[in-house]
Each structure stands twice: as structure tokens, then as C-alpha cells.
Amino acid sequence: MVASTATELERAPQAAAVVSLVGVNKHYRRGQEVVEVLHDFNLEIPSGEFVAIMGPSGSGKTTLLNLIGGLDRPTSGEIFVAGERIDRLSNAQLTRWRARHVGFVFQFYNLMPTLSAEGNVELPLLLTHLRASERRQKVNVALELVGLADRRRHKPTELSGGQQQRVAIARALIADPTLLICDEPTGDLDRHTAEEILGLLQLLNQRYSKTVIMVTHDPKAASFARRQLQVDKGQLVSAPSSAL
């Protein structure tokens, strides 16, 4: 996080769209066959929104998430995220853009097993010009925010699944990204722990106006979001109004 205290993260919600997809198509080749994953897809997500993307397996929801996060490129169409048309960026530009604007939270945490919680959270900051003391301060704030200040020196094997996911969320937040992209963030957790993690994402959205975009297959998890999007056969089939 750029802010040195949690209080500095607080900001008024903004109405402007932080994500805009216009006429996006995504095709893959499987031998001689062309597989259409997304077809003429249009979507806008306002800044400060918490969106759950749902749909059956193979519907295109994970592809959509990867396109928004700059992990994949569309076959055609325009993708604007955080004021940048990312489908036009070079690979090097896209790498720098992701580091500045996107925090990723995955189902299986992706923590370095040999590093402590604070070491894992600090990793994205090692690519910056911050001094060690500045990095430590930001790590302390991030771990405090996710409720793990007292577990900072524990390695992943010494933490529960829920605690590991909290470390992953702190790592995703450490550079104060424009949006958090979460791919089945509670898929490997029991119900009670999952609700704790979803409550944390909800807190980050409601108190600190973090934009959260989450793919989930679980209607209970989706209920924590302000808005639910249904994707099927590569198209947006419903987009209910936000429920604050």
C-alpha cells in the first residue's frame, strides 16, 4: 500500500468506470478448430464497485478476469482499465501496468514457502526504489489491516488456510493497486473461513473504496458483492443493479 497508515487509505467512492470492455472477442485455436470464448462482450465496472462474476464451467468468466487483469489479450475489441487502453500495450508496458494497478488473489495463495508472512507480503516492493525501512512500514500496515500483525514471522506451513489467504490479500494490497482481482479466493476454504475472507474483501471495498472483481461459483460468496454478473457461452446474460 502506498499509504503508511490505514486511515490514509480512506477515500470517497468515485462514479467513473475503472473497467470498460467494448466489443471484446476472444478466440483460441485448438488444432484446426477455433474456440470462441467471449463474443462481442461489453461491460463497465465503476470505481469502488465489488463485482462477483458467476457462470458455469467454460462460460468465459476466468478468461474475462484474465483480460481485465492484463494476463491475456483479446482477439479483438477494446479494453480500458484504470484509464489505460491495455489491449494496445506492449508486453513490457503491460507488466509495468499490472504492477501499478492490479493486485491478484488466487485460490491456492501462491505464497513462497521459505518466506515468512512479512517476507511474502514484501515481495512486490522489492521491485521498487523504496528503502528497507519504508518497505517494513508498509508491510506492517498491510498485515495489520488483514489481522495478521501477530503472525508476521510465521511461514505458510505454520498458518491456517484462511491465514495464508489473508497474507495473499495483504500482498495484493501492498502497492495500493487500483483494483483487486480475485479468482475463486475462497474455493479452498471451509465455509466459516471463507466468510471471514469474504468479509475482509467487503471491508476493503466498503471502508477503503477498493474496487474488487471476483470470480466465484458459489452463490453464497457472490452475495457479499454489491453486484453479480452472470456470464454464459461467452456473453453477459444478466447484470443486476448494485445492491448496497
Q: Write the DSSP assignment of the chain as a string of letters.
A: --SSSGGGG------SEEEEEEEEEEEEEETTEEEEEEEEEEEEEETT-EEEEE--TTSSHHHHHHHHTTSS--SEEEEEETTEEGGGS-HHHHHHHHHHHEEEEETT----TTS-HHHHHHGGGGGS---HHHHHHHHHHHHHHTT-GGGTT--GGGS-HHHHHHHHHHHHHTT--SEEEEESTTTTS-HHHHHHHHHHHHHHHHHH--EEEEE-S-HHHHTTSSEEEEEETTEEEE-PPP--
pTM for the complete prediction? 0.86
Give the mean model confidence (pLDDT) for residues 124-131: 87
Could you tell me if residue 1 is inside a domain?
no
- Supply the pLDDT for residue 107: 87
pLDDT of residue 40: 95
Q: Tell me what pLDDT residue 31 has.
A: 84
pLDDT over threshold 60, residue 183: yes
Q: Tell me: pLDDT of 15 over 80.
A: no
Q: Is the pLDDT of residue 244 over 80?
A: no
- Stronger pLDDT, 53 or 8, i.e. the higher one: 53
Quick one: average pLDDT of 16-41?
A: 92
Does some domain include residue 223? yes
Q: What's the domain count of the chain?
A: 1
Residue 243 lies in a domain: no
Residues 167-187 have a mean pLDDT of 94
Between 176 and 243, residue with greater pLDDT: 176
Query: Could you list the residue range(s) of the whole structural domain that residue 179 is in?
Result: 6-238
Per-residue confidence (pLDDT) for residue 10, from 0 to 100: 39
pLDDT of 17 strictly over 80: yes
Kind of pairing, strands 227-232 and 179-183?
unpaired
More confident residue, 5 or 201: 201
What's the mean pLDDT in 85-94?
95
Residue 241 has pLDDT above 60, yes or no: no
- Give yes or no for residue 13 having a pLDDT over 50: no
CATH, residue 99: 3.40.50.300
Cell numbers found for residue 235: 456473453
Residue 244 lies in a domain: no
- 239 confidence band (pLDDT: 50, 70, 90): low
